[in-house]
């Protein structure tokens, strides 16, 4: 899609990268279910560092938290899996344009 992407496979690693250079990132895309921190926990910590950070949360299923709760904590989009490339591309563009 033409974006420069930084990938981490561990939530604390992602948090450290963002904390060390918060203005380097235009958007965070996170899964809800991860080891160490959930997507919601990671989002809350990121937003403490950079309150205006656009965040997209992806989930296959979550009975622990609803879409409204995701959005209430500051996430900009909530995407249910499976996610098509087109849907992801449109969501990314919308979130970046809204920021």
- Residue, of 35 and 56, whose pLDDT is higher: 56
Contact call for residues 90 and 1 (beta carbons, < 8 A): no
- Taking only the tens place, the pLDDT of each residue in 50-64 is 999 999 999 887 666
pTM of the model: 0.87
**Structure tokens that stand for 29 in this block:** 């895309």
pLDDT of residue 72: 74
Report pLDDT for 92: 96
Pick 11-98's CATH classification: 3.20.20.70, 3.90.1150.10, 3.40.720.10, 3.40.50.2300.
Answer: 3.40.50.2300
């Amino acid at each position: 899609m033409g974006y420069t992407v930084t990938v981490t496979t561990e939530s604390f690693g992602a948090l450290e990268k963002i904390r060390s250079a918060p203005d380097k990132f235009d958007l965070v895309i996170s899964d809800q279910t991860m080891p160490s921190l959930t997507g919601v926990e990671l989002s809350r910590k990121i937003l403490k560092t950079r309150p205006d950070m656009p965040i997209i949360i992806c989930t296959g299923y979550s009975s622990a938290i609803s879409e409204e709760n995701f959005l209430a904590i500051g996430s900009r989009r909530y995407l249910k899996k499976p996610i098509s490339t087109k849907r992801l591309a449109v969501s990314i563009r919308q979130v970046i344009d809204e920021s």
